[in-house]
Structure 1
Amino acid sequence: MPARVDLGRRSGDTGVGRRRCTPPAWWRTSALDGIRVSETVGAVSAQSSLETMLDQNSQIPATPRPVARRDLMGGPGGIGGRPPKGGAVMALPCCAMRETRLDTARIRAAQRLIDPVFLRTPLYRCEAMESDLGCTVSIKLETANPVRSFKGRGTELVASLLAAEGTRAAVCASAGNLGQALAWSGRGRGLDVTVVASRFATVAKLDRIRALGAALELVDGDHEMARDRAAAIARYDGIRLVEDSLDIETCEGAATIALELVDSVPSFDTVLIALGGGALATGVGHVMKALAPEVEVICVQPLGAPAMTHSWRERRVVTTDSTDTIADGVAGRHPIPAVLDDLLLVADDAVLVQEASIIAGMRMLLDHAGLVVEPSAALGVAAILEDRERFAGRHVVTIVCGSNVDMDTYHRWVGAATGPQIVTGKDGG
C-alpha cells in the first residue's frame, strides 16, 4: 500500500510558476507521411491582468517554486502506450519545463472571485459503493451548482478578468458544460457570450446554453470544428476567445477543488480525475503536487477518445482523426501543447477505460449514491472497476465533474447495464 499523507500536518505552499499562454494557440494542419499533424503557433506572454488583480488583492506571498514531481523520464507507470491507429505524433519538448503555468497563491486568492455557489461542494465517503469496488471511496460532488459541473469555477475567473478589462463580448467552443458556465458567469457581468458547439452535442446542454442567454452557433462536426469556428468568430468580430484549458483561469478555477480536498479529507491515497482538455487534471494535479505530493494523481480518459492520454505517455502531442465515446465532455482530438506540458509535471498516471465500464460506473453512482451523472463524471469509478487490485485497500477520491445529460439517452445507457462490471486488464485489454 502506498504511503498515506496526513493532510492536517502539511505546511503552506507559496505557488508554482506564473506563466500564461496568450494569445490562444491557433491550429494549422500539415501532411506528414500521409497523416495530418496538428501544430500550434503561440508564445508565452507576460502575466495576465487577472493575475495582477489577484496579486493586488492577495495577502499570500507569490514566490514561485518548482512543483514536486515524479521522474517521468523513464516512462509513465510502466505503461507503454502507443499512438492510436490513424493518429499522429508531433515532436514537442514537453519536459523542458519544470514549472507549471499555475500558481498556488493565485489559486488561493481566486477563491474570493468565484461565486460561493460553486465553492465548498459536497465531499463525503460513499460506503455503499465500497464492497463492490474493494476500496474506500470518497466523492467530490461538482454537480450541486447552477450549471451542474465544475466549469463554473473557471468561468467565474474568466468573466472577472473580462469585466476588469472592460471587455463586453466573448466566444468559446464547448461540448456543453463550458458554454453553460461561461453563459452563467457572463450574464452576471454584462458580457455578451457566444457559444459554438457541435450540433451533435447533448441536447440538454444546448438547451441550457440558450436558456442562460448566450448566442448559440452549431457546426456540422465535432468539438475541434467548433474550436476552429470560435477562433474565426473571435478574429472576425474582434472579441475575446475563451479557450478551455489554455486560458490559465480555467485551470486555476478547477484547482480550487483540490484546495477543498486537502482542507477537508484527513488522509487519502489517490485522486481520480476525468481527463479531456486538461483544465481539471492540471488544476487539481498542480495543487496535489504542491500541497500533498504523496497523493497519487491518476487521470482517466475513454478508450475511444485517447489523444491526451497517448500524448502524456509519448511525452509529445498525439492527435487522433476521430473519437468514439459517449463521454462527449472529454472527447477531444487535438491536445494543447502548453496544457500537456503542465500535465506531464503533475500526473502520476493516465489510464484508458472501456465504454461498458463507464456505463457501469454511471449505474453504480445511481444505485449506490443516488446520483444521475454524465459519462465523464463516471470515469473515476470506471477506472476502479477495471483494476480493482490496484486500488484495493486504498482511500480513493473521485471527482464527479458533471451531470448534464439527456435523460432519455441516460435511461437507455443505464437500463442496459445489469450491474457493476469487473473488466480485467488495463486500457480495456
Structure 2
Amino acid sequence: MKKEYLTLNDVLEARERINNTCVNTKLIYSSEFSKDCGNEVYIKPENLQVTGSFKLRGALNKISKLSDEQKSKGLIASSAGNHAQGVAYSANKLGIKATIVMPKTTPLIKSQATKSYGADIVLKGQVYDEAYEEAKRLEKENGYTFIHPYNDMDVAAGQGTIALEILDELKDVDAIIVPVGGGGLISGVAVAAKSINPNIKIIGVQAEGANPMKISFDTAKLTYADSVDTIADGAAVKQPGDMTFEVVKKYVDEFVTVSDNELIEAVYVLLEKHKLVAEPTGALSLAALKQLNFKGKKVVSIISGGNIDVVTIASLLKRGLVSRGRIFCFSVKLHDRPGQLLKITKILADEGANIIKFNHDQFKAIDRLKDVVLEATVEANNHEHIEDIIKVLNAEGYNVNRVY
C-alpha cells in the first residue's frame, strides 16, 4: 500500500500518543444480543470514551502530530458533533485555538459540549457536507489548519487503536462490526485488526438512508449520495472519503444496512439491558447483529458514541417500547351507557395490561348520541401479550382499532 495510506505501525504509534488521554473502554459481554443473533457478542463501549465517542482518538492523534507552525494558525473542523468535541477537547488540552463548523441540525447537547471545551462554533447548512464546505472556505480565508473528521490517515490511525484494545482483550475475536459514515473508523480498525490477524472479519454498517460507502464498496467505485435521510446523524455523510475508500476496498469484508426502526430498537435494548446510552449512530453495529450470516462466533460490536440529548432519547425510547411490544395503543367504540368503561377496565386488568392513559371521547363517534370512542394506551409484556389482549377484546364483541 502507498505510504500515504495506513499501516499497523501508524496505529501502534498513535496508541503511544493518545494513551494518557483516551480511555481504554473495556469489552462488555452481552447475553441479550448474543441470544438474539446466535453469536457470542461483546460490546466495545466508546460511548464511555472521554467526550462520549471514539472521535477523540483520531482528533488527538492528528493534532498531536501537527507542526508548531500549523498549530499556531489555529484549527478548523467540520462535524455533526462528535468529531467537533474531539477536536475542541484536544485543542484545549494542547493550548490551540479551534473553530468548529456544525450543521444547523446538530443536537444541542453536541454543540453545547463543543463550546464548553473552548471552541468557537459556526452553524451552517443542514448536513455535514454543507458544514464541510463552509469550513474549507474559512480555512482558505483565515489560514487555519483543517482537521478532517475521516478522510485523513492520521485520524484513521487514532481510531484504529480501538482494534488494538479489542485484540488485547479478545485475541480470538472472529468478527468486528463497525459503524460507518465517511470511513475513518472502519479504515483504522480494519488495518489494525487484519494486520494482526487476517482471518478477522470486518463488517461495516450504514443506515439505509445514508449508505454511499456501502454502494461504493459493492460497485468498487467511489459513489456520492445526492441526499441522506436517517436518524443516525453522526453517519449522515453524502461523500465518503477517497482515501478511506481505498483502505475499505482492501481490508473490509462486507457491508450491511439497517433501518431507523432497527436502530431505535437497538438503542432501547442497550439501555434496558445494559444501562448504556448510545446515540442512533452508535447503535448501528448492534442493529446489524441479526443480519450476520454466521453463528457461534465471537463478535465485537463497536458502540461509536453516546452523545444524545434527553428529549431525543425520550422520543426514541417511546418508539422502542412500541417496537418491542411494551406499549400498545388502541381504540374501540362503546355504547354510551353506564358500566361500559368499567367493563373494558376489568378486561385489561384480567389480562395483566397496565393502563397508562384513557381518552373517552363522545365526539369522535359517528353516532355520538349512542356511541363513544375510547382510546386506551396500555403497558404490555410483549407482542404476544398484545395479541392475547386483542383476542379477548374481540371475543367480548369489541372491534379493536390498533393505533400503534
Name the TM-score class by shorter chain.
Answer: 0.7 to 0.9
Looking at secondary structure, tell me which structure has more helix per residue: 2
Contact 2:47 2:277 in 1 (8 A): no
Counterpart amino acid of 2:313? Answer: Y
Confirm or deny that 1:111 pairs with 2:96: no
Instruction: Tell me the SS of whatever aligns to 2:71.
Output: coil
- Corresponding position of 1:138: 42
2:114 pairs with one of 205, 209, 222: 209
**What is the alpha-carbon distance in structure 2 between the residues aligned to residue 163 and residue 147 of structure 1?**
24
**What is the alpha-carbon distance in structure 2 between the residues aligned to residue 326 and residue 166 of structure 1?**
35
Q: CA deviation at 1:420?
A: 5.4
Higher relative contact order (Cα pairs below 8 Å, separated by 6+ residues): 1
- Corresponding position of 2:396: none
> Which runs of 5 or more residues in structure 1 are unaligned?
1-15, 20-100, 422-429
Confirm or deny that 1:276 pairs with 2:181: yes
Contact 2:11 2:188 in 1 (8 A): no
Q: CA deviation at 1:146?
A: 2.5
- Corresponding position of 1:357: 262
Aligned residues: 323
1:288-310: CA deviations, max 9, x gaps?
A: 21111111100000000011110
- Corresponding position of 1:18: 3
Question: Larger deviation: 155-164 or 203-212?
Answer: 155-164
Confirm or deny that 1:330 pairs with 2:235: yes
- Corresponding position of 1:285: 190
Counterpart amino acid of 1:187? Answer: N
**What is the alpha-carbon distance in structure 1 between the residues aligned to residue 237 and residue 70 of structure 2?**
31
Counterpart amino acid of 1:304? Answer: G
Q: CA deviation at 1:17?
A: 4.7
Structure 1 vs Structure 2: percent identity of aligned residues? 29
- Corresponding position of 2:52: 148
Q: CA deviation at 1:104?
A: 1.0
**What is the alpha-carbon distance in structure 2 between the residues aligned to residue 115 and residue 204 of structure 1?**
26
> Which runs of 5 or more residues in structure 2 are unaligned?
326-404
- Corresponding position of 1:222: 127
Q: Which aligned runs of 4 or more in structure 1 are off by greater than 6 angstroms?
A: none
Confirm or deny that 1:167 pairs with 2:152: no
Contact 2:152 2:243 in 1 (8 A): no
1:139-178: CA deviations, max 9, x gaps?
A: 1111223301001111111221235445220101000000
**What is the alpha-carbon distance in structure 2 between the residues aligned to residue 102 and residue 164 of structure 1?**
24
Confirm or deny that 1:182 pairs with 2:167: no
**What is the alpha-carbon distance in structure 2 between the residues aligned to residue 414 and residue 310 of structure 1?**
30
* TM-score, with structure 2 as normaliser: 0.77
1:300 pairs with one of 205, 208, 212: 205
Question: Larger deviation: 411-420 or 140-149?
Answer: 411-420
1:210-232: CA deviations, max 9, x gaps?
A: 11110000013211110100000
Contact 2:77 2:84 in 1 (8 A): yes
How big is the alpha-carbon RMSD for the aligned residues of Structure 1 and Structure 2? 1.6
1:226-254: CA deviations, max 9, x gaps?
A: 01000000001011111122221110000
* TM-score, with structure 1 as normaliser: 0.73
